[in-house]
Amino acid sequence: MTPSIDSKRFWLRRAGYGLALGVAIALLEFAYYYPLVSTPGRLGAGLLASVLLPWCGEGVLLAVTVGLFELRQAPRPLGARQLALAVVVGSLAGVLAWQAFVQFVLRERFGIWLLRDYVGQPVEWAGIVLYNVWLMLLFGGLAAAVYFSRQRHARMLAVLRAAELDREASKEKLAQARLASLQARIDPDFVFQTLSRLERLYEADPPEADRVLEELIVFLRGALAEVRAIPGQ
């Protein structure tokens, strides 16, 4: 799930997640405030400036912060506690930076009206920051939880796949070992009966017995070589 962590793709992907989160919250916020706006015709720059821009920016900053935490922790995955810390730090940093930009630069220097101006709600810096931090923590935290769970799921699947492969390999090796064990056995009854017969034969016909013993030794030498050649030992 977490490939080469300093690759461009990693950061692009993080930024994409953040952007998606920001757009989602922006849409929700817009839907929330839109019915309260009495003169919808004049919305425009203010909508972009006070909703889409800061939320997207905050989302990306949050995602990048999580990415930085991941980078610090790599190659180990983020734990739940570090993820929570990353979300809190990222949310605070994102909201403070972007709301400062919106309030003090866009609104006060360039005179762009924000959504709240249209609604007629007070535009207080601290109040807005507090509200945005709450929303960001809530949705960012949930999104991070989803992301974290998905990663954990993928990791567990990989572990499962590896364990199953190991098990199959063991099964195969066991079958081989059993086969080898069967092959290695020399029928004990055969040896025993041959030797008993040999004992009697030595009484009756020693030269013939000598010949039989020699053959038996040759046979055993062959059997030994075969046993030694069994693979997997």
Partner 1 sequence: MQLGLRLPDFVGRRNGGAVLRRIWWQSLWRGGLIALAVVFVLSTQFLFQLDLYGTWPLPDILHGWLDYFLDLLTVGGCIAAAVAVAASLRIGSGAISHVLLLSSIALGALAGEALLLLRAPLPPDVSSAGVLFAKVARWVVFGVLTYAAYVYQRRAAKAASQAHESELQRIQLERQMSEARLQTLLAQIEPHFLFNTLANIHRLYQTQPGLGRKMLASFVAYLRAALPGMRSDETTLGQEVDLARAYLDVLQVRMGERLRFLLDVPGELGALPFPPLALSTLTENAIKHGLNPLPEGGSIEIRARVDNLELRVEVADTGAGLRQTGGSGAGLANLRARLAALYGEMASLDITANVPRGIRATIAIPVRRA
How many CB atoms are closer than 10 A to CB 16?
Answer: 12
Rg (CA), the chain: 39
Residue 159 near partner 1 by CB under 8 A: yes
Q: Give Cβ neighbours of residue 167 (< 8 Å, ≥ 6 apart).
A: none
Residue 12 near partner 1 by CB under 8 A: no
Residue 160 near partner 1 by CB under 8 A: yes
Question: What letter represents residue 160's amino acid?
Answer: L
- Reading the block at residue 17, the tokens are 């997640």
Pick between residue 11 and residue 219 the one whose CB is nearest to partner 1.
Answer: 219
- Reading the block at residue 18, the tokens are 């953040």
Residue 119 near partner 1 by CB under 8 A: no
Residue 167 backbone class (left: φ over 0; alpha: ψ -120 to 50; beta: rest): alpha
Residue 122 near partner 1 by CB under 8 A: yes
Residue 52 near partner 1 by CB under 8 A: no
Distance CA(114)–CA(123), nearest Å, equals 8
Residue window 170-189: x/- pattern of binding to partner 1, with contact defined by CB under 8 A: xx-xx--xx-xx--xxx-xx
Pick between residue 5 and residue 123 the one whose CB is nearest to partner 1.
Answer: 123
How many CB atoms are closer than 10 A to CB 65?
Answer: 23
Piece of 4-12, 62-70, 92-100, 193-201 that binds partner 1 (CB under 8 A) = 193-201
Pick between residue 45 and residue 156 the one whose CB is nearest to partner 1.
Answer: 156
Pick between residue 7 and residue 196 the one whose CB is nearest to partner 1.
Answer: 196
**In the block, residue with structure tokens 């075969």:** 226
Residue 191 near partner 1 by CB under 8 A: yes
Piece of 63-71, 81-89, 102-110, 143-151 that binds partner 1 (CB under 8 A) = 143-151
Tell whether the torsion through CA atoms of 96, 21, 18 and 30 is positive or negative: negative
Q: Give Cβ neighbours of residue 15 (< 8 Å, ≥ 6 apart).
A: 60, 63, 64
Q: Pick one of 1, 45, 164, 190: the residue that binds partner 1 (CB under 8 A).
A: 164
Pick between residue 19 and residue 230 the one whose CB is nearest to partner 1.
Answer: 230
Residue window 76-115: x/- pattern of binding to partner 1, with contact defined by CB under 8 A: ----------------------------------------
